[in-house]
Amino acid sequence: MHLMIIIQFFFDSSDQKIPDELKMAIDKAIHQIKRGYSVLVWLTGNDNVFYEGNFDSYLILLKFERLLKKAKIISNIEVFLSKNNHVFPISQASSGELSFIALLVHIAFCVNGYSFIFIDEPENSLHPKWQNKYLDFLRGSIGYNKCIVVVATHSPIIITSISESNQASIYKRGVYGFEEVNSYDDSTEELYIDYFDILTPKNRALSNRCVDIIDQFTIGEISLQTARDRLSKFEEMANDSAQKEFLLGVNSLLTKVNHKKRNDHE
């Protein structure tokens, strides 16, 4: 009660406008401590990130930390992370983790209604596990706001975390602008081909796709020109000498299949 009297005195005498949300947040925090709850309030993966329980109140305390310290209501606020049952201060987090957490907090404070959010290469310095959960955490920080999020990424992990049920669309930049890619393959090799026009070394997906091209041409589903056009796209992607040699062999095989088809019709 004594603490609340001091706080109320500061609010009444302050020349700054004290938001009602801050008063409520302090009241909740004091209630937590008086009830004997842990002074550490953990945000788990099962939470709706920033909007479940009382966590939004703690975000407000972070927002007004400087004001609260000036009033000597608090000394400081410390933030910790927990990883593999190891607790450490946020100052020891990686640059990627710090950037990601800062983004989530910023979104939680600033977005409203139908905001637009643009994020460029979120995978930078971010552990693969965080990349895999990136969009889930992002959705949680947005809460119930109906935002439109645009993410530019080169991470196959982030792309594989997207499914059709996530109300997400994937676009690839082409010669004439952006085109939607209607594919949700979990194979990293397939993703690099479909979304980034890159052939990884010893790419099994390349072999499978070339077999499909030959099969489709053999049974008449595609023309010889279409088959060669598809191969030429792979040739443009290939940087590996073994891949280039393999594609030349596939082109040669198409020529042989074409000759055989002509002879069969004579």
**Position 240 in a domain:** yes
pLDDT at 233: 84
Most confident listed range (19-23, 140-144, 203-207): 140-144
How much of the chain exceeds pLDDT 90, in percent?
A: 3
Residue type, 107: I
Is residue 175 domain-resident?
Answer: no
Q: For residue 172, what pLDDT is reported?
A: 79
Tokens describing residue 52 = 């479940």
Which of 37, 56, 40, 263 has its CA nearest to residue 144? 56
34 within some domain: no
Query: What confidence tens digit (pLDDT) does each residue in 164-178 have?
Result: 556 788 887 777 788
243 lies in some domain: yes
Please say whether the beta carbons of 153 and 159 come within 8 A.
Answer: yes
Residue 228 in any domain: the answer is: yes
Do the domain assignments include residue 31?
A: no
Cα–Cα distance, 230 to 232 (Å, whole number): 5
Residue 253 lies in a domain: yes
The pair of three-digit structure tokens given for residue 265, joined into one six-digit string: 């019709």
**185 found inside a domain:** no
Domain count, the chain: 1
Query: Domain containing 249: what range?
Result: 194-266
Instruction: Report phi then psi at 104, rounded to 5.
Output: -60, -40
Range with the lowest mean pLDDT among 32-46, 119-133, 134-148, 222-236?
32-46
How far CA 208 is from CA of 202, 204, 251, in Å, comes to: 12, 6, 15
Q: Do 103 and 135 form a contact (C-beta atoms < 8 A)?
A: no
In this structure, what DSSP letter does residue 166 have? Answer: G
* pLDDT top residue among 153 and 48: 153
For 56-69, give the DSSP string: HHHHHHHHTHHHHH
